[in-house]
Homo-oligomer: A and B are copies of this chain.
Amino acid sequence: MREVAVIGVGMTKFGKFIGTSLKDLGRAACLAAIKDAGISAREIQVGYCGNAVGGVMTGQTMVLGQLVMRELGITGIPITNIENACSSGSTAFREGWIAVASGMYDVALVVGVEKLYASDTGKTVQALAGASDVEVEGSLGLIMPGVWAMRAKKHMEKYGTTLEQLAKVSVKNHKNGCLNPNSQYQKECTIEEVHKARMICDPLTVLHCSPIGDGAAAAVLCSKDKALRYTSKPVYVAASVLTTGTYDLLRDITENGLETSAAKQAYEFAGIAPEDISLAEVHDCFTIAEFLRCESLGLVPKGEYGRWIDEGWTEIDGKLPVNPSGGLLAKGHPVGATGVAQVAEVVWHLRGEAGKRQVKNAQTGLTHCSGGAIMGDTAACTVNILIV
Interface residues of A (CB under 8 A from B): 1, 21, 23, 47, 52-53, 55-56, 58-63, 66-67, 69-70, 75-85, 88, 91, 94-95, 98-99, 101-104, 126-131, 133-135, 138, 241-246, 261, 371-373, 376-380
A1-B244 in contact given A66-B373, A79-B380 (Cβ < 8 Å):
no
A63–B134 touching, CB < 8 Å: no
Q: Which residues of B contact A102 (CB under 8 A)?
A: 1, 98, 101-104
B80–A81 touching, CB < 8 Å: no
| Whole-angstrom CA separation of A107 from B185 in the bound complex | 45
CB pairs A–B below 8 angstroms (26 shown): A53-B55, A55-B127, A56-B61, A58-B134, A59-B134, A60-B135, A61-B128, A62-B131, A63-B85, A63-B372, A63-B373, A66-B244, A66-B378, A66-B379, A67-B373, A69-B244, A70-B378, A77-B244, A78-B242, A78-B244, A79-B84, A79-B380, A80-B91, A81-B82, A95-B95, A101-B104
Q: Which residues of B contact A377 (CB under 8 A)?
A: 66, 70, 75-76
Q: Select which of B1, B52, B82, B244 is within 8 A of A103 by beta carbon.
A: B1
| Majority secondary structure of chain A interface residues (helix, strand, loop or mixed) | mixed
B62–A52 touching, CB < 8 Å: yes
- The count of identical subunits is 2
B373–A246 touching, CB < 8 Å: no
Q: Which residues of B contact A52 (CB under 8 A)?
A: 61-62
**Which residue of chain B has the shortest Cβ distance to A257 in the bound complex?**
B76
A130-B62 in contact given A99-B98, A380-B79 (Cβ < 8 Å):
yes
Q: Select which of B91, B98, B138, B376 is within 8 A of A98 by beta carbon.
A: B98
Q: Select which of B59, B77, B84, B104 is within 8 A of A62 by beta carbon.
A: B84
| Whole-angstrom CA separation of A53 from B135 in the bound complex | 17
Known: A63-B380, A66-B378, A98-B99. 16 other contacts (CB 8 A): A1-B104, A53-B62, A59-B138, A60-B134, A62-B83, A62-B131, A63-B85, A63-B371, A66-B373, A66-B380, A67-B376, A76-B261, A78-B243, A81-B83, A83-B83, A98-B104
B21–A135 touching, CB < 8 Å: yes
**Which residue of chain B has the shortest Cβ distance to A80 in the bound complex?**
B91
A60-B130 in contact given A66-B372, A66-B380, A379-B66 (Cβ < 8 Å):
yes
| Whole-angstrom CA separation of A56 from B130 in the bound complex | 10
Q: How far is the CB of A51 from chain B (nearest CB, A)?
A: 8
Q: Which residues of B contact A88 (CB under 8 A)?
A: 62
Q: Which residues of B contact A83 (CB under 8 A)?
A: 62, 81-83
Q: Which residues of B contact A241 (CB under 8 A)?
A: 78
| Whole-angstrom CA separation of A91 from B79 in the bound complex | 9
A59-B126 in contact given A80-B242, A244-B66 (Cβ < 8 Å):
yes
Q: Which residues of B contact A245 (CB under 8 A)?
A: 75-76
A82–B82 touching, CB < 8 Å: yes
